[in-house]
Amino acid sequence: MGEVINGAEKKYFIKWFLENYELQNREAEWLLQYLASNDHILERVHFIDNFKNLPKTILMSTKCVQMTPFKFYKNRRVTSDVEKAFLDIHNNPQEDIYIGLFFKDRSVSPEYAAVLETNPQEEARETDALVSLQAELILDTAIRNYQLAKLYEQIDLALDLGDKKRFHELANQLKDLIELG
């Protein structure tokens, strides 16, 4: 993930969130308090907006929005049981936890923006696309350099043979290639 959000920032956000919003599921509030109280687990918590294809995700909603109150996703299994989520987190403290919070004005909340991270799956796809684009640019440059070298060789040969017609054709091709480049 791009920028690392430290535990203190996450703890501050959870405290702020719980002071300003009421979750639809009271046990979910307790789970957030547990996360905030455990520094080791809190380091593994990531607040995200895009939660597709992640191994362990929790979705929570406040009373001010019309969304599902609580969902826990792990390895394609889904439950709305907060206790099962707690037990999984407690028994697997080394695993990352991705949390999607739904509350009024979240898109304009600076507190939420301060802890929001990108989905690592999405980031990997963006990195792959960037690497692919860079490879394409390198390949295009290599092909262009090869074409230029071949044209220069052919121009030299045309000069050596005294073939003015061929020289002019090749010079025009070289001019076109340079203009495109």
Write the pLDDT tens digit of every residue in 84-99. 999 999 999 999 999 9
Q: Is residue 16 located within the same domain as residue 101? A: yes
2 in any annotated domain: no
Q: Is residue 92 located within the same domain as residue 164? A: no
Total tally of structural domains belonging to the chain = 2
Residue-number span of the structural domain to which 163 is assigned: 126-180
* Identity of the amino acid at 61: S
Residue 57 · residue 98 · CB < 8 Å: yes
Question: Model confidence at 142, in pLDDT bands (50, 70, 90)?
Answer: confident
Q: What is the C-alpha to C-alpha distance for residues 172 and 150, in angstroms, rounded to an integer?
A: 14
**Region of poorest pLDDT, from 116-120, 124-128, 155-159:** 124-128
Among the candidates 117, 141, 172, a domain finishes at 117
> Whole-model pTM?
0.65
Pick from 56, 43, 35, 38: which is nearest to 119 by CA? 56
Mean pLDDT, all residues of the chain? 89
Q: What is the C-alpha to C-alpha distance for residues 73 and 52, in angstroms, rounded to an integer?
A: 10
Residue 35 · residue 14 · CB < 8 Å: yes
Phi and psi, residue 73, nearest 5°? -115, 130
Per-residue pLDDT, 91? 97
End-to-end CA distance of the chain: 36
Instruction: Report CA dihedral (128, 133, 134, 135) to the nearest 10 degrees.
Output: 90
Q: Is residue 167 located within the same domain as residue 133? A: yes
Per-residue pLDDT, 95? 96
Q: What is the pLDDT of residues 4-38, one digit of tens each?
A: 789 999 999 999 999 999 999 999 999 999 999 99
Among the candidates 62, 91, 117, a domain finishes at 117
Per-residue pLDDT, 1? 41
Q: Is residue 25 located within the same domain as residue 105? A: yes
Which contiguous run of DSSP H or E holds residue 45? strand 45-48
